[in-house]
Amino acid sequence: MIIARGRQAVAGNARLVAGVFMLALGALLGGCASMAPQTRLLGQNGLPPGVPRHFELKQVPFFPQDEYQCGPAALATAMSAAGVPVTPQQLVPEVYLPERKGSLQIEMLASARRHGLVPYQLAPSFSDVLTEVAAGTPVIVLQNLGFASDSWHYAVVVGYNYDRGGLILRSGETEREIMPFILSEMVWRRSGYWAMLVVPPDRIPVTAEQNRWLAALAAFERVGERPRVQLGYQTFLKRWPDNANGWVGPANTYSAAGDLTEPARVRREGLARAPDSPVVLNNLAQTLSDQGRDQEALPLIDRAAASEGPFAEEVKKTRAAIVAKLNGGRSSASGN
Amino acid sequence: MIWTPYEFAQAGMIGTDQVASAATQADRNTVLGFVNRADVANRLQAMGVDPKLAQERIASLSDQEVKSLASQINSAPAGAMSDAWAVILIIAIVIGVWYLWKRM
């Protein structure tokens, strides 16, 4: 009897446990939609237009990671695919942070610049990732694979299969990891959907937003080799010639190289496109002033000063300097 | 001098760095005024990076990035390792949930 009772009790407990478990599962499943909202949207809306149902960048190289060094491995994968052959070992001194036993996102972006590539952080969108991959660019994603604690990991998306609902990744020690969309999103979401890619300066990522791409080029200008920086700006202007801010960079890089005539030419071209931009006006005025042509510079800087804007302070300074030079009698109408 | 991007060295010019960032004038003053690249490089050093490398690493950041790095160096996610078992566990749970759901 005692044994039977015991059995009954066990059976009853088992039913209770099973019931609670199912309830918990129900809650979990109900929560799934909110755990992977983008996957649900992808299921409802289908793929972005023009993107094939399955696609894989098979030629993207694979670098199995050493301990803790998924950052350098992922970056080497993406950079090699962009035409700059590097090994993870070469990148360790650039991105690895010994005390943290890992690599920070900001440094992942910065390292690419040092190798002549322009890094771009994608919008936090699943379909943007698929769009970029389908356009031929592997995408680095930051995942949190930890269960009880955090375990951050960089992996490279190199393909997907929409019908099977999964991503294909180079990840850690796995050359071709297939991860369901829902799971990919769950681990990716925890990084705030952080994703980046690297491209040569003459390529604009297909999902790039023009102002954010210009900011990416501006950051590249800091360390990139000048011809590559120029190439980046030229490519930008071919695509978005009416972006006044786009005209600022190319002329500045010529100026920095000590060239006095080319910047003025580029700035005039920019002015024709954006006649009211205080920034373009300011920089053209400054260029002319540098050439000793302050008489010509004055009306331009006056036009710039007429509009209130975020650069009013800089414009005021430029104008004061030009006026001072004119009053000092060092004005000169010489020049071509 | 290593910290000075050349566009700032050009007196009177406004750089793309300035126009392209969404930062306001006040933001830009804050960034330029309070972000000291040498300080951030020192913090990288304190985390085990060789001093020369730390300077080079900081040099390739935009002002905005230096600022973010300074505030997040201890807390930002540092991608490190592949925790394969956690993935397998998650996969097992997803499959389990799906299977039980079908049976219900």
Q: DSSP states of chain B as a string? A: -TT--HHHHSTTPPPHHHHHS---HHHHHHHHHH--HHHHHHHHHHTT--HHHHHHHHHTS-HHHHHHHHHHTTTS-EE----HHHHHHHHHHHHHHHHHHHH-
- B20/A174 touch (CB, cutoff 8 Å), yes or no: no
- A255/B76 touch (CB, cutoff 8 Å), yes or no: no
- B21/A93 touch (CB, cutoff 8 Å), yes or no: no
The answer to whether A97 and A163 have CB atoms below 8 angstroms apart is no
To test the contact with chain A by mutation, choose from B4, B68, B87 the residue with the greatest count of A C-beta atoms within 10 A, namely B87
Assess A104–B contact: CB distance below 8 Å, yes or no: yes
Sequential pLDDT tens for chain A (336 residues): 344 443 444 455 555 555 555 555 555 554 555 778 999 999 889 999 999 999 999 999 999 988 778 999 999 999 999 999 999 999 999 999 998 889 999 999 999 999 999 999 999 999 999 999 999 999 999 999 887 778 899 999 999 999 999 999 999 989 999 999 999 999 999 999 999 999 999 999 999 999 999 999 999 998 888 899 999 999 999 999 988 888 888 888 777 777 778 878 888 888 888 888 888 898 889 888 888 899 999 999 999 998 878 888 889 999 999 999 999 864 444 433
Q: Does residue A194 sit in the same domain as residue A267?
A: no
In a domain, B37, yes or no: yes
| Of B65, B50, B35, B72, the residue nearest A222 (C-alpha) | B65
Q: Does residue A193 sit in the same domain as residue A250?
A: no
Q: Does residue A58 sit in the same domain as residue A195?
A: yes
The A residues from 193 to 222 touching B (CB cutoff 8 Å) are: 211, 214-215, 217-219, 221-222
At CA A153, angle to CA A150 and CA A158, rounded to 5?
Answer: 145
Q: Does residue A158 sit in the same domain as residue A250?
A: no
Q: What is the pLDDT of residue A5?
A: 40
In a domain, A32, yes or no: no
The tokens for B64 are 């905005």
Assess A313–B contact: CB distance below 8 Å, yes or no: yes
The domain of B47 spans 6-103
In a domain, A231, yes or no: no
The tokens for A27 are 């809650």
Task: Give the closest of B15, B77, B78 to A252, CB-based.
Answer: B15
Q: Does residue A85 sit in the same domain as residue A194?
A: yes
Find all residues with CB under 8 Å of B40, minimum gap 6, and list them: B58, B66, B69, B70, B73
Task: Give the closest of B25, B49, B101 to A310, CB-based.
Answer: B25
Q: Quick one: closest CA in B to A140, which residue?
A: B79
Chain A residues close to B25, C-beta within 8 Å: 310-311, 313
Question: Predicted confidence band at B72 (pLDDT cuts at 50, 70, 90)?
Answer: confident
In a domain, A263, yes or no: yes
pLDDT greater at residue B26 or residue A244: A244
The A residues from 142 to 171 touching B (CB cutoff 8 Å) are: 142, 144-147, 150-155, 171
- A289/B12 touch (CB, cutoff 8 Å), yes or no: yes
Q: What is the pLDDT of residue A145?
A: 86
Q: Does residue A68 sit in the same domain as residue A137?
A: yes
Q: Domains in chain A: how many in total?
A: 2
- d(Cα B73, Cα B14) in Å, to the nearest integer? 30
Q: What is the CATH number of the domain that holds A258?
A: 1.25.40.10
- A99/B46 touch (CB, cutoff 8 Å), yes or no: yes
Q: What is the pLDDT of residue B2?
A: 40
In a domain, A124, yes or no: yes
How far away is chain B from the Cα of A111, in angstroms, using its nearest Cα?
A: 7
- A283/B13 touch (CB, cutoff 8 Å), yes or no: yes
Q: Does residue A249 sit in the same domain as residue A179?
A: no
How far away is chain B from the Cα of A257, in angstroms, using its nearest Cα?
A: 10
In a domain, A22, yes or no: no
| Of A26, A179, A36, A165, the residue nearest B103 (C-alpha) | A26
Q: Which residues pair with A262 in a beta bridge?
A: none
Q: Does residue A171 sit in the same domain as residue A249?
A: no
Chain B residues close to A154, C-beta within 8 Å: 79
Assess A53–B contact: CB distance below 8 Å, yes or no: no
Q: Quick one: closest CA in A to B28, which residue?
A: A310
In a domain, B13, yes or no: yes
Residue A114, SS3?
A: coil
Q: Does residue A72 sit in the same domain as residue A146?
A: yes
The domain of A115 spans 54-199
Q: What is the CATH number of the domain that holds A103?
A: 3.90.70.10
In a domain, A216, yes or no: no
pLDDT greater at residue B10 or residue B94: B94
Q: Quick one: closest CA in B to A67, which residue?
A: B81
In a domain, A121, yes or no: yes
The answer to whether A176 and A170 have CB atoms below 8 angstroms apart is yes
How many of the other CB atoms lie within 10 Å of CB of B33? Answer: 8
Please state the length of chain A. 336
Q: What is the pLDDT of residue B85?
A: 54
Q: Does residue A165 sit in the same domain as residue A261?
A: no
Q: Does residue A193 sit in the same domain as residue A280?
A: no
Q: Domains in chain B: how many in total?
A: 1
Q: Does residue A184 sit in the same domain as residue A264?
A: no
Chain B residues close to A105, C-beta within 8 Å: 76-77, 79
- B78/A245 touch (CB, cutoff 8 Å), yes or no: no
